[in-house]
Structure 1
Amino acid sequence: MDFQQLRRYCLAKPGAIEDFPFGDDTHVIKVGGKMFALLTEKEQIPHISLKGEPEFSELLRAQYDAVKPGYHLNKRHWNTAEMDGSLPEEEVKGWIDLSYQLVVKGLKKAVRDELLM
């Protein structure tokens, strides 16, 4: 997936918005005011940071060389994936879905209910 494909997939989630608190080159995708994805590009290679359950995050790091502990994030819960062509697109989409679901799950009930409307 290229940068724009990642960005569009994230922004297609209900309630997803894009924010730039760290500068124009760091796209932060949020739901309910909480980040679920962070997109950057280094040397024309997209990188996406996603939230995951700690055990699953470690498993992904062991399975894929392109998946590292979250850059400048809580390394127990966040991974950064380098989109170098080695990661299966459907798996990356699944990781985005999981990150979104984990963040939504942590939102207040009223905010979650609003997303379903």
Structure 2
Amino acid sequence: MDDETLLAAATARVDELPGAGLEHPFGPEWDVFKVRGKVFMLQTQYSGRAMVTVKSHPEDAEALCATFADIAPGYHVNKKHWISVTPGPSLEPGLIEELVTESYRLVVAKLPRAQRPVDPDVFGVASPHQA
């Protein structure tokens, strides 16, 4: 996966998420994606390479970092709860979409129920009838 494919896969998934929006609170070099004012994904260039940072369960983050050479603890964020993804051969667009969706669900789950644009317990979770 190259830089363009990584950013395109992540951004395409964000475009499908209810209530998601793009902001630039850290300047034009950082794309910050939020739902109801809470960050769930960041995109930037680091050392000339694309980087996508998303929230993750600590156990999942640890496993992902151990499994994929192109996933590392979050850059400039809490390394226990965030991971950073850079382009590389170990990644597929489907994995990026899953990581973005899970990050969104984790953030939505922390919102007051009245502010949630979706039910995080079922949104983006494949049902047994989907194949």
**Number of aligned positions between the proteins:** 114
TM-score (normalised: structure 1): 0.89
In structure 2, the residue matched to 1:68 is 72
Please show how residues 71-90 of structure 1 align to structure 2 within 5 Å: 71-90=75-94
Structure 2 Cα separation of the partners of residues 9 and 42 of structure 1:
22
Structure 2 Cα separation of the partners of residues 30 and 64 of structure 1:
26
Secondary structure (helix, strand or coil) at the match of 1:95 reads helix
Structure 1 Cα separation of the partners of residues 47 and 57 of structure 2:
29
Structure 1 Cα separation of the partners of residues 30 and 89 of structure 2:
21
AA at the equivalent of 1:9: R
Query: Is the radius of gyration larger for structure 1 or structure 2?
Result: 2
TM-score (normalised: structure 2): 0.80
Stretches of structure 1 that go unaligned for 5 or more consecutive residues are none
* Percent of matched pairs sharing the same residue: 33
Select 2:41's aligned residue among 37, 40, 45. 37
In structure 1, the residue matched to 2:101 is 97
Indicate the structure with greater helix content.
Answer: 1
Q: Contact between 2:53 and 2:74, CA under 8 Å: does it hold in 1?
A: yes
Secondary structure (helix, strand or coil) at the match of 1:87 reads coil
> 2:27 aligned with 1:23, yes or no?
yes
Stretches of structure 2 that go unaligned for 5 or more consecutive residues are 119-131
Q: Contact between 2:6 and 2:96, CA under 8 Å: does it hold in 1?
A: no
Q: Contact between 2:40 and 2:54, CA under 8 Å: does it hold in 1?
A: yes
AA at the equivalent of 1:87: L
Deviations 1:9-42 (A, max 9, x none): 2132100000101110100000010000001123
Secondary structure (helix, strand or coil) at the match of 1:23 reads coil
In structure 2, the residue matched to 1:56 is 60
Secondary structure (helix, strand or coil) at the match of 1:47 reads strand
> 2:8 aligned with 1:8, yes or no?
no
